[in-house]
Amino acid sequence: MSSIKVREGEADFNVPGAGKPCKTWYKVYGTLPHPHNPPLVVLHGGPGSTHEYLDILSELTRLFDVPVILYDQIGNGRSTHLPEKNGDVDFWTVQLFVDELHNLLNHLNIHDNYSVLGQSWGGMLASEFATRQPKGLGKLVIADSPASMALFVEATNELSKGLPQKFQDALNKHKAADTTTDPEYTAAMNAFYKRHSCRLDPIPQSLVDGLAWMENDPTVYSTIYGPNKFNITGSLKTWNVIDRLHNVQATTLLVNGRYDVTNDMVMEPFFQHIPKVRWVQFADSAHVPHLEETERFMQVVWAFLRG
């Protein structure tokens, strides 16, 4: 396909407690409805990031004619911002984002037949969504996502031991002193990210753009997650989906990178407890194999969707 159809829109989203009308911004690549291929709905990470760094998944449309739907989750990007809800853990719940996904599926009239790909936090959200056995969910891709935050904390602490000692010392010192905005701490975090988040140099602009949205409006990230990967203080601190994974009926593909911050220990519960599951690891990737090994990623996902 030389050119593909692209359209953008907004779905009204009624959120009790928001205090104002809310909208979810979305982008559709390809044709809806499609005569053969169910659409793939893509859930971005963060929490509180935006769709840009996943825009490359439109390659699935260009190469294989799979309709791809991207959207900015409520709270950031081109969707409704709610900075007045910063710190409100009763408002920013997993259920809010599950409701938003249902609302978008209904708005696009695709709730009878679709697949979902969630990356990082998006995969956590996708697993939560799938455990509820939603109508119409065909296939599920969980990419670079933890099955529990306790495992994720354990993994990041273990991976940080591979950093040069000066960075380990900086992480420990500033976390203990609650001085995580110190440049020394930032340098240590960047060293960790270069190993375990994205190994490309330079970092793709699409990833930079998503991070910029989070810096400009940290409401969702700081409330649900916390200051950073080593200091989880938000409402996700005790999140765990493991005991509900047996409820996932959708055939599932797991994806992570060899150097991923969501390493094998963190993802293994998905493999152990989801009834119909397969797992592919990308040997030259960290946390974003769709950017680090794009061509292989598209082939792997397409083979799974068509199978």
Q: What secondary structure, in 3-state letters, does 194-223 show?
A: HHHCCCCCCCCHHHHHHHHHHHHCCHHHHH
Q: What is the pLDDT of residue 220?
A: 97
Q: Residues for the chain: how many in total?
A: 307
Assess whether the previous peptide bond of 202 is cis (omega < 30° from 0): yes
End-to-end CA distance of the chain: 21
pLDDT score of 229 more than 80: no
pLDDT score of 225 more than 70: yes
pTM above 0.75, yes or no: yes
Stretch 20-26: mean pLDDT: 98
From the centroid of its chain, how far is CA 33?
Answer: 25
pLDDT score of 2 more than 80: no
Q: What is the pLDDT of residue 1?
A: 47
Q: How far, in Å, CA of 223 to CA of 241, rounded?
A: 20
| DSSP secondary structure string for all residues of 102-125 | HHHHHHTT-TTSEEEEEETHHHHH
pLDDT score of 192 more than 90: yes
Q: How far, in Å, CA of 151 to CA of 149, rounded?
A: 5
Which residue intervals of the chain are DSSP H helices? Answer: 59-64, 94-107, 121-131, 149-160, 165-177, 183-196, 205-216, 219-224, 264-273, 289-292, 294-306
Stretch 189-203: mean pLDDT: 94
pLDDT in tens, 116-138: 999 999 999 999 999 999 999 99
pLDDT score of 216 more than 50: yes
Stretch 137-161: mean pLDDT: 96
From the centroid of its chain, how far is CA 61?
Answer: 20
Assess whether the previous peptide bond of 164 is cis (omega < 30° from 0): no
Q: How far, in Å, CA of 11 to CA of 227, rounded?
A: 30
Q: Check residues 302 and 179 and name the one with the higher pLDDT.
A: 302
Q: How far, in Å, CA of 138 to CA of 134, rounded?
A: 10
Most confident of 101-105, 173-177, 182-186, 211-215: 101-105
- Whether 196 is a known active-site residue: answer no
- Whether 206 is a known active-site residue: answer no
Return the CA Rg of the chain: 19
Q: How far, in Å, CA of 130 to CA of 137, rounded?
A: 8
pLDDT in tens, 271-293: 999 999 999 999 999 999 999 99
pLDDT in tens, 51-67: 999 999 999 999 999 99
CB 115 within 8 A of CB 38: yes
Stretch 252-276: mean pLDDT: 98
- Whether 58 is a known active-site residue: answer no
Which is nearest to 123 in space by CA: 138, 103, 141? 141
State percent of the chain over pLDDT 90.
Answer: 91
Catalytic annotation, pick one of 58, 260, 285, 290: 260
Catalytic annotation, pick one of 51, 81, 196, 287: 287
Stretch 200-227: mean pLDDT: 93
Q: Check residues 203 and 181 and name the one with the higher pLDDT.
A: 203
User: pLDDT confidence of 158, banded at 50, 70, 90?
Assistant: very high
pLDDT averaged over the chain? 95
User: pLDDT confidence of 227, banded at 50, 70, 90?
Assistant: confident
Q: What is the pLDDT of residue 203?
A: 94
List all residues 6 or more positions away from 166 whose beta carbon is below 8 Å from its beta carbon. 188
pLDDT in tens, 174-185: 888 888 889 999
CB 38 within 8 A of CB 60: no
Catalytic annotation, pick one of 49, 120, 222, 285: 120
